[in-house]
Amino acid sequence: MNLDEARDLLTRTLHDWLVARDMQRESARQVESANLIISGILKGFPELEEEMRQEGGQKVEELQQVDDDEAPRGAEAVLRVLQVNENRMYSVAQMVSELESRGWLPDSENDPANAVRTALERVLKNTPGVKKIRKEGAVYYRYNEPEPEPGGAQLPPPALAYDPMQTILSGGPHPESGGAAG
């Protein structure tokens, strides 16, 4: 491999990594949203939980059960909440309440708000897109996906699995694609 090939491979791999990271974040948001919807419905209609158990066995418990090893803690938990609710501002008290509703509240002998405040400050320091906002005597934290820096490295578009020009000229899918183009 020469320098140009290495540069090209690195550029493509970085692009693939960014796409995968974004997909992972979106999937986490979707899972979290579904969990919130399920919790809300079951709080409003507790009789449905028993009905679901009778029809589907352990489905509700499986959906809601979060293994202690999988439950995020500290800065990771705070960041997940901020990312799922992008642009929403949270005070420390609101974040404590949100973490408590998800079962992610830190085990703290003292006031859990101190541990949450520390986690928020750690996320603020280490995560692009997290902002601390002072408004009407209160402090809020919010996340918003950072914009690419002007003049930053532009990643190439992903490679197509087929040749679009060949598809147009041949009047249909490229024979090597094995099916419909796109």
**Strands of the chain, DSSP E:** 130-135, 138-143
pLDDT at 120: 93
pLDDT of residue 144: 83
What's the pLDDT at 90? 93
pLDDT at res. 168: 61
pLDDT given at position 181:
44
CA dist., res. 57 & res. 127, Å (int): 41
The alpha helices in 45-73, defined as continuous H runs, are 47-56, 59-64
> In the chain, which residues have pLDDT < 70?
53-70, 109, 146-182
Report the alpha-carbon angle 163-169-173, nearest 5: 55
For residue 177, what pLDDT is reported?
Answer: 46
pLDDT at 105: 83
The region that residue 87 occupies, defined by phi over 0 for left and psi between -120 and 50 for alpha, beta otherwise, is: left
| Token pair belonging to 105 | 């509240």
**What integer pLDDT is reported at residue 151 of this predicted model?**
62
Q: What is the pLDDT of residue 122?
A: 92
